[in-house]
Every structure is written in C-alpha cells, then in structure tokens.
C-alpha cells in the first residue's frame, strides 16, 4: 500500500503518516504534486524487455502523453540482481531537480520519492498502481532500496530522458530510507 510521511522543520518524526490513498492524494495536491491510483493491468514476464513493457501499457502511455504532452517515454525495471543497483541507488539518492515534470507510473514493486518543499519533506512510497507527477524544479530524491524491485514507466517532455541538476545538499541522509520507512509502517 502507498504510504505518505510528512516531516516539518527537520523533525525526527513525521507530523503525518498515512496509507489512505484519498488523504495522500489531497495532501500532495495541496502542494502541487499529482498522485493517482490506476490499475496496472498487465502481468509482465520476468524477462520482459523495455519494448514488451511499453507495449503492455500502450493505452496508459497514450493517455498520459495526450494529457501532458510527454513525447518521450521509457520503462525502467530494476531487480535485486541488477549489476548497477548500488551505483544507481546512490545517484538517485542525491537531492536533485529537473527542468521538466518527473512523471512515473509504477507497474511493479515499489520505490520511495522524497520531496523537499520549503520547510517540509514529504516521503511517498509508490507501489504498483501509483502514478505521480512531481513538478519541474521540485527538489527531491528517490530510494529504491538496497535490493530494488520495481518497474515504472517514465514520461518526459524532452528527448534526452532523465536529466538531473544535483543540489549538493546531503538532506537525504537525515531521513529514513525505503526499508526503514516500511519497517516503521508495520
């Protein structure tokens, strides 16, 4: 289940923690973040490549592209045996921004988006069926955990794909990672 934790002023504990999808959507919308739950209908083969993943979700891709002008889409799928998992995790954990919206639809597994909005940090565990839109210029980072297991469709307004501007702020080190947040929710 999706989970939202909201921290303020570097608080050690979240001011709000919820798994209620409607509350999550309202809290994020109040801050300009898009969040929806869609059915991820396709069951992907273990060896499905990017082309097969994109074909399986062609209708969802067309809908998002029509609504947001996202001309480029790809699929990222990482499992616990991915040879670059540690390097990719470190790269995504560094706080960064993008010149465009960051739009993801999770079709398998889970990951943790952390959004740095002024004096707040919002941590959102996205799982299968979750769609998120983080506006351009929003400071954030992403944790896929030490043993990643997720597949997400990624939508872009540019042809280069994922392009980040790193802030150099070590803020991610002060907040729980994916596994710790999951452990605290149970």
Q: What angle do CA 172, 132, 114 make, to 5 degrees?
A: 10
185 band by pLDDT with thresholds 50, 70 and 90: low
DSSP letter, residue 171: G
Q: Is the pLDDT of residue 107 over 60?
A: yes
Average pLDDT in the 101-119 region?
95
57 band by pLDDT with thresholds 50, 70 and 90: very high
Q: Which residues pair with 126 in a beta bridge?
A: 111
- pTM of the entire structure? 0.93
Q: What is the pLDDT of residue 96?
A: 93
Q: Are the C-beta atoms of 93 and 172 separated by less than 8 Å?
A: yes
- Report the chain's mean pLDDT, rounded to a whole number: 91
Q: What is the pLDDT of residue 163?
A: 74
The domains of the chain, with CATH numbers, are: 3-185 (2.60.120.10)
């Amino acid at each position: 289940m999706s989970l939202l934790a909201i921290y303020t002023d570097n608080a050690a504990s979240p001011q709000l923690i919820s798994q209620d999808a409607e509350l999550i959507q309202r809290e994020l919308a109040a801050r300009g973040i898009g969040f929806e739950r869609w059915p991820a209908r396709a069951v992907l083969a273990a060896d499905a490549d990017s082309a097969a993943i994109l074909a399986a979700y062609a209708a969802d891709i067309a809908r998002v592209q029509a609504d947001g002008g996202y001309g480029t889409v790809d699929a990222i799928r990482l499992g616990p045996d991915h040879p670059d998992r540690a390097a990719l995790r470190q790269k995504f954990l560094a706080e960064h921004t993008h010149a465009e919206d960051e739009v993801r639809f999770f079709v398998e597994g889970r990951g943790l988006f952390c959004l740095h909005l002024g004096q707040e940090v919002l941590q959102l565990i996205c799982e299968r069926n979750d769609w998120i839109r983080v506006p351009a210029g929003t400071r954030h980072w992403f944790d896929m955990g030490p043993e990643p297991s997720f597949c997400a469709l990624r939508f872009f307004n540019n042809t280069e794909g994922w392009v980040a501007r790193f802030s150099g702020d070590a803020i991610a080190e002060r907040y729980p990672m994916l596994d710790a947040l999951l452990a605290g929710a149970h």
